[in-house]
């Protein structure tokens, strides 16, 4: 049998990617552009069908290269995991959510690992990219992959390389974001590092899979803690009558020792609201309480309630009650200019509004319909913005600062604007109707 390293070096190794979502699809494109044969796996038949028909289900990911790979028979996508033996390198990009008790939910990693183990053959490389706690690769995956007698570092190779995706970022993408890689053995690291060097501009090797796993958690905990800091300051500065966004802009002029973070209505996305709790859970095994992580989580989770309080207070100023008020939500995506609504704080805020009797409407140029999810059961459609609609609303809430919105026009025709993103900072006409929350 031809050695795996030889196949990687001459780019004949088939790269199989499990999970064709926000992480797996860009990764597939990068390895395709590098010239590798590709196999894409997913359990969602709608994704496979869309790809085979040249249709995109993630707006910011182009279909042109995928169509090109399919046309050249460089790529095949499938629901059949029986074909895993055809792949020389298997990259796992599956979700790692939390349970209702805020504990790691590794069911997708476990199921995928067991499926890979059933089809594992000599001279295969398996890399987990899903964010998880330190120890997942060597404690959870390795024993299952070795159960039939194949030995890691000799017969097969196992590594961890955390995904680093920032949907909508025009400067950084899968190809130019440095890739951290840790292997179970030096031989595992060598093969994983060599593979990724074909697809990304810089690979950062580390001494173990645990170091690589914790690296990703540190990155997101850093953001979570700093966002919590400015969110807490937002509540304080509101009481003090100070515009925190102006303070942050002024502090940002310092050329050293300060990195700006901005407050908002809460945390969203698949990573930052979830990943810190993976480390908190694992820390209990060592009789350690991650107090900073818990405190940051408490503050960020409380922000939708702060937004609600500011909305109630603003309506009261107009002699209105939240119960029965018509509220228009602008933006459901968790960040600007993308179509990703995973863990979006907009849902938490809409829940609070509905619980208190408000009538809610929404507009999002990137998300035309709301579909039921893990934490919500909405079946709403985005309403078309018009002067008549804005005037009819008792309040318009800016929860996502999409570039497509004309904030001056919105402020001019709205009775009340609740701005959670400082999107109206350049608005002059109708400024008196704007409340920062």
In degrees rounded to 5, what are phi and psi of residue 208? -160, 165
Q: What's the distance, CA 125 to chain centroid?
A: 26
Q: Which two tokens stand for residue 294?
A: 């818990």
Handedness of CA 45, 48, 53, 58 (dihedral sign): positive
Among residues 89, 93, 188, 271, which one is catalytic?
271
Per the CB < 8 A criterion, the answer to whether 301 and 232 are in contact is no
C-alpha distances in Å from residue 181, one per residue of 33, 120, 122, 216, 223: 21, 21, 21, 11, 21
Report the alpha-carbon distance of residue 358 to residue 393 in Å, rounded.
11
| Neighbour-count burial for 135-174, b at 16+ CB within 10 Å, e otherwise | ebbbebbbeebbeeeeebbebbbbbbbbbbbbbeeeeebb
Report the alpha-carbon distance of residue 36 to residue 189 in Å, rounded.
19
Known active-site residue 271 = yes
DSSP-derived pairing of the beta strands 38-41 and 359-363: unpaired
Per the CB < 8 A criterion, the answer to whether 244 and 263 are in contact is yes
Which residues, including other chains, have CB under 8 Å from residue 247's CB and lie 6 or more apart? 233, 237
Report the catalytic residues. Answer: 271
């Amino acid at each position: 049998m031809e050695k795996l390293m030889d196949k990687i070096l001459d780019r004949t190794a088939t790269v199989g990617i499990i999970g064709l979502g926000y992480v797996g699809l860009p990764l597939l494109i990068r390895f395709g552009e590098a010239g590798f044969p590709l196999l894409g796996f997913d359990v969602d038949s709608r994704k496979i069908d869309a790809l085979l028909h040249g249709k995109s289900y993630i707006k910011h990911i182009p279909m042109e290269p995928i169509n090109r790979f399919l046309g050249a028979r460089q790529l095949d996508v499938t629901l059949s995991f029986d074909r895993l033996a055809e792949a020389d390198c298997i990259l796992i990009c599956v979700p790692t959510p939390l349970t209702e008790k805020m504990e790691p939910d590794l069911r997708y990693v476990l199921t995928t690992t067991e499926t890979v183990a059933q089809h594992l053959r000599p001279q295969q490389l398996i890399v987990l990219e899903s964010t998880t706690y330190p120890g997942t690769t060597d404690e959870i995956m390795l024993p299952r992959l070795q159960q039939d007698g194949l030995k890691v570092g000799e017969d097969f190779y196992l590594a961890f390389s955390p995904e680093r995706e920032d949907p909508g970022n025009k400067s950084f993408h899968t190809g130019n974001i440095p890739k951290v890689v840790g292997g179970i053995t030096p031989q595992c690291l060598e093969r994983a590092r060599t593979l990724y060097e074909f697809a990304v501009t810089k690979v950062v090797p580390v001494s173990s899979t645990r170091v690589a796993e914790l690296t990703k958690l540190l990155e997101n905990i850093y953001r979570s803690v700093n966002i919590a800091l400015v969110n807490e300051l937002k509540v304080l500065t509101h009481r003090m009558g100070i515009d925190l966004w102006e303070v942050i802009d002024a502090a940002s002029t310092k050329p050293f020792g300060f990195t700006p973070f901005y407050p908002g209505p809460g945390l969203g996305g698949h990573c930052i609201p979830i990943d810190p709790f993976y480390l908190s859970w694992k820390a209990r095994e060592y009789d350690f309480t991650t107090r900073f992580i818990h405190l940051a989580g408490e503050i960020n989770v409380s922000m939708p309630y702060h937004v609600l309080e500011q909305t109630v207070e603003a309506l009261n100023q107009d002699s209105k009650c939240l119960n029965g008020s018509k509220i228009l939500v602008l933006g459901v995506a968790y960040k600007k200019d993308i179509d990703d609504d995973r863990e979006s704080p907009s849902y938490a805020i809409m829940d609070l509004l509905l619980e208190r009797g408000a009538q809610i409407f929404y507009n999002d140029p990137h998300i035309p319909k709301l579909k039921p999810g893990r934490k919500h059961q909405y079946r709403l459609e985005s309403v078309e913005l018009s002067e008549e609609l804005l005037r009819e609303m008792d309040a318009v809430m800016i929860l996502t600062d999409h570039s497509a919105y004309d904030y001056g026009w919105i402020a001019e025709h709205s009775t009340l604007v609740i701005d959670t993103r400082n999107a109206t900072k350049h608005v002059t006409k109708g400024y008196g109707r704007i409340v920062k929350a």
